[in-house]
Amino acid sequence: MSLPSRSIAIVPTYNEAANIEPLIGELLALGVPGLQVLVVDDNSPDGTSAIVRRLSDAHPEVLLAQRMNDRGRGTAGIVGFHLAMKLGADRIIEMDADFSHPPRCVPELLRALDHTDISIASRLCPGARDLRPASRRLVTWLANLYARAFLELPSHAGRIRDWTTGFRGYRRRVFEALPPEALISRGPSILQELLFRSLNLGLTASEIPFEMKDRAAGKSTFSGKVARQSLASIPAYRALFHPASTPRGALAVFQLSNYRMEKASPGHFLLRNP
């Protein structure tokens, strides 16, 4: 088996000073040929970016994109995908900085891209384990029930069980078919948008079980606002990107939320919470 010549692992960070150095160390120690690590940091007040800058002086395969004015997990992902494409990546990993996504699974996600367009490290398929507190496991389970109710299409080949995991691999062709700039999400539900739109375009995805841990250090950015944003966005994806088959309930749920769809440019929408 040959590993890809050019792989980039994107790691969005906000206040991950306690995790980022050991995480990068473990990623580099994997010895994956041609693997680069791209940290997208939103000028974290805890100095995460200064640590990454120091590491990138010693290791040219460590890259930093520091955003000074923007905030958000969704747009950080968009910037990461955009830069990874510009840097010529064949295979792109996205993962959290907090060790909930074990670096040792990265080679397996990359290898799976030999036979699928999107490889998903899953908490919900046979063989997976989720070691987080019961409350977080319940949120994940309910979020997936909700996402699948709106986004799973009968035509989808195979069933994806974990729509909300942020630990995935993507072939370059995913972002050739779906340019990062065309993604409308501004929050973590970018993961569901990306998977739904890719499957609709005929791209394939498959799950690999993994063991999810709670974050090693620092604080989660998960909040009620993040959850509400996802609840409103998911039915909107179905209505926007597969209108012919949108269940009536999808539009009703969207209309009940405070969110509004705005046309940003021809064929390009944004979701806003006024």
Ligand X SMILES: Nc1nc2c(ncn2[C@@H]2O[C@H](COP(=O)(O)OP(=O)(O)O)[C@@H](O)[C@H]2O)c(=O)[nH]1
Residue 268 binds which one of Mg ion, ligand X, none, with CB within 5 to 8 A depending on kind? none
Q: Which of 16, 117, 130, 207 binds ligand X (CB under 6 A)?
A: 16
Handedness of CA 36, 42, 48, 54 (dihedral sign): positive
Q: Identify each DSSP E strand in the chain by its residue range.
A: 7-13, 35-41, 62-66, 91-94, 118-122, 129-130, 168-171, 205-209, 211-212, 260-265, 268-272
Residue 97 binds which one of Mg ion, ligand X, none, with CB within 5 to 8 A depending on kind? ligand X
* Choices 140-148, 199-207, 220-228, 249-257; region in contact with ligand X by CB under 6 A: 220-228
Q: Does 66 contact ligand X by CB under 6 A?
A: no
Residue type, 36: Q
Q: How many residues bind ligand X (CB under 6 A)?
A: 19
Q: Which of 7, 13, 140, 230 binds ligand X (CB under 6 A)?
A: 13
* Choices 34-42, 84-92, 121-129, 242-250; region in contact with ligand X by CB under 6 A: 34-42
Residue 258 binds which one of Mg ion, ligand X, none, with CB within 5 to 8 A depending on kind? none
* Choices 145-153, 190-198, 215-223, 241-249; region in contact with ligand X by CB under 6 A: 215-223
Q: Do 41 and 48 touch, CB atoms closer than 8 A?
A: yes
User: φ, ψ for residue 71 (rounded to 5)?
Assistant: -135, 145
Q: Do 274 and 258 touch, CB atoms closer than 8 A?
A: yes
Q: Minimum CB separation from ligand X for residue 167, in Å?
A: 10
Those residues whose C-beta lies under 8 Å from the C-beta of residue 166, and which sit 6 or more positions away, are: 94, 95, 96, 101, 188, 191
Nearer to ligand X, 220 or 273 (CB): 220
CA-to-CA distance for 239 and 250, rounded, in angstroms? 7
Nearer to ligand X, 7 or 164 (CB): 164
Neighbours of 247 (CB within 10 A): 13
Q: Which of 37, 52, 63, 76 binds ligand X (CB under 6 A)?
A: 76
Q: Do 16 and 97 touch, CB atoms closer than 8 A?
A: yes
Q: Is 184 helix (H, G, I), strand (E, B) or coil?
A: coil
Q: Which of 215, 227, 228, 257 binds ligand X (CB under 6 A)?
A: 215
Q: Does 63 contact ligand X by CB under 6 A?
A: no
CA-to-CA distance for 64 and 75, rounded, in angstroms? 15
Q: Minimum CB separation from Mg ion for residue 1, in Å?
A: 30
Nearer to ligand X, 41 or 193 (CB): 41
**Residues contributing to the site for ligand X (CB under 6 A):** 12-14, 16, 40-42, 71-73, 76, 96-98, 100, 215, 220-222
